[in-house]
Structure 1
Amino acid sequence: MKIHHLNLTVTDVPATQEFLETYFGMTCRANRGKGFAIMHDEDGFVLTLMKGSKVNYPKTFHIGFPQENEEQVNKINQRLKEDGFNVEPPKQLHGYTFYVEAPGGFTVEVLC
């Protein structure tokens, strides 16, 4: 059994949607204006984004995008940095990893 669906409340649905499409290859299958979007990945995972005026996830809450290798982690890190995101270089922790604050008010981990 695997998790197939997750809903995130975000402060800015269009910006979050663009972020997930640009850096993580997710595809928007449907949306309702600026308040709701249905995203899919290549494995059929469904991520819905719902607009909320306040987003207050616990400090340790995050979603993860595993990569095939360190080179892919480095490429995403560099691209985010070049596009103005505040990202630290990847580190060897529980894997080769880094974190980035996504538009919309949540944290993303990129790792291999």
Structure 2
Amino acid sequence: MRMNHIDIHVADVAATTAFLVRHFGLTLRETRGGNGLAILTDDAGLEIVISRPVEKFGGAEQQALGVVTYHLGFIQRERAEVDRLYRELKEGDAELVGEPREMRGGYLFYCLAPGRVLVEVGWRE
């Protein structure tokens, strides 16, 4: 068995989608409705669905709640890629949560994507 997708709820699907495509190389495969849903994929088969909050599932998202309840993690092949992405995000539109540092056997940092989605960028030997 393998997990084939994750669906994250945000208020602004387009902004979160653009951020993940621009900085993490995801491919936009499909959109549905005006700012209603986007399906992103990576080169390893992972699918990330970005959608608006669904009322029948509680109708909330992290921005409105003002909390971070989960995070997405992107592992890099080279330690230098962590530093490169940090610089790119620092110069761009990301809210950074600390600088790259050694932690839990790796080298990583966190940032917030639009929609208050916590993103971990890391490398491990």
2:56 equivalent in structure 1: none
TM-score normalised to structure 2 length: 0.82
Unaligned runs of 5+ in 2: 54-58
1:105 matched to 2:116:
yes
TM-score normalised to structure 1 length: 0.90
Q: Kindly provide the amino acid, as one letter, of the partner of residue 69 in structure 1.
A: E
1:49 equivalent in structure 2: 50
Unaligned runs of 5+ in 1: none
The aligned runs of 1:68-87 (5 Å cut-off) are: 68-87=77-96
1:93 equivalent in structure 2: 103
Q: How many residues align?
A: 112
Deviation per CA, 1:38-97, whole angstroms, max 9, x where unpaired? 111111111111112741386452110000121000000000001142322201001101
- Tell which has more relative contact order, 1 or 2 (C-alpha 8 A, sep 6+): 1
Higher Cα Rg, which structure: 2
Kept in 1, the 8 Å contact 2:68–2:117? The answer is no
Distance 1:26 1:71, change over 3 A: same
